Amino acid sequence: MAKNDLVSGSIWDEYSSIVADRMNNPRHMGEITEEQAEAMGAALIVADFGAESCGDAVRLYWAVEKDTDKIVASKFKSFGCGTAIASSDIMTELCLGKTVDEAVKITNIDVEKAMRDEPNTPAVPAQKMHCSVMAYDVIKKAASLYKGVDMESFETEFIVCECARVSLDTLKEVIKLNKLTTIEQVTDYTKAGAFCKSCIKPGGHEAKDIYLVDILADTLAEMDRERLAEAAVENAKVDKDFGKLTIVQKIKLVDSVIDEFVRPMLVMDGGDMEVVDIKETGSNYDLYIRYLGACSSCATGSTGTLYAIESTLQQQIDPAIRVVTI
């Protein structure tokens, strides 16, 4: 059934159009045979992973070019729900063209983000967020088979929930993205803590280094700090008289303009800058900056680049701003 055939406002609307398309029209479902891999001058790798919690399973096929370790063909078979098919299809696609070492860096969050229509809108409803978890394990299983090592050797993320294979970074990302405030919501969205429950709080059958209650509290505190910082910048922008702002407000406002209009260009060329101080000199505001990275040795740092920074700040904030390098 096509997404457009369903009534607007139903749970189907919680799925991205990418997920809906890949459910019904997966691009990479199938298998790779030994003969096909040999014809490509590649080694065939077949890796299986099953999620005991929901019964979904996926088989990943790689044809890996022997001289370069590059994945020249990638297919999958999925035994599970439509979301598992969609996420497996995207996961398989993300592997194509990468070396094995590059592929093992693909995370569950990478898979879920690749299924979004909009960068800040989850691709699937909360109860289906766990379906991308299999990508984390099946990729590492395939890589371990190719390299002849244990899967654990590829572990680079701190896993909080072993049952659902949910990492600390994933938890913080999902809490922030969906503005979660309770452990029940965290479990609903990620499936962390949904099974043995040892990772929720101290007292379970298995001791943990960190628990969901701690992660939620720390992430909410971090979000509060970010909101306060953003509010300070917005309040500073509302006040059109730059001279009436405190030194902290001035620097926050300058930093926000630099982040939006200047820093991306500097970083693109391998450089950066930082605001050191702002001083009133007569009717002017002297902004002292320090170049970082490639900018610190660039010949245009005292000419074209400096003029561009000064001109931007004058246009966006106050024409009396002068920029001085130190």
- pLDDT tens for 285-320 read 999 999 999 888 888 878 888 999 999 999 989 999
Q: What ranges in the chain are assigned the alpha helix state H?
A: 17-24, 34-39, 82-95, 100-103, 108-114, 133-147, 168-178, 183-190, 212-238, 247-257, 263-268, 304-316
Give the active site residue among 54, 95, 163, 199: 54
Which DSSP string corresponds to 176-191? Answer: HHHT--SHHHHHHHH-
Fold of 3-156: Sufe protein. Chain: A (3.90.1010)
Structure tokens at 267: 């970083």
Give the active site residue among 95, 131, 161, 163: 131
Over the stretch 163-175, which tens digit does the pLDDT of each residue have? 677 889 989 999 9
Partners of 322 in the β-ladder: 286
Rg (CA), the chain: 25
Domain limits, CATH 3.30.300.130, in the chain: 242-325
Q: Which CATH class is domain 242-325?
A: alpha beta
Question: What is the C-alpha to C-alpha distance for residues 147 and 25, in angstroms, rounded to an integer?
Answer: 32
pTM of the predicted model as reported, rounded to 2 decimal places: 0.53
Q: Which of 217, 209, 175 is nearest to 192 (CA)?
A: 175
Are the CB atoms for 43 and 64 separated by under 8 Å?
yes
Model confidence band, residue 131 (pLDDT cutoffs 50, 70, 90): low
- Whether 54 sits among the annotated catalytic residues: the reply is yes
- Whether 131 sits among the annotated catalytic residues: the reply is yes
- For CA atoms 85, 91, 95, 100, give the dihedral sign: negative
- For CA atoms 229, 234, 239, 242, give the dihedral sign: positive
Instruction: Calculate mean pLDDT across residues 189-215.
Output: 88
Partners of 275 in the β-ladder: 289
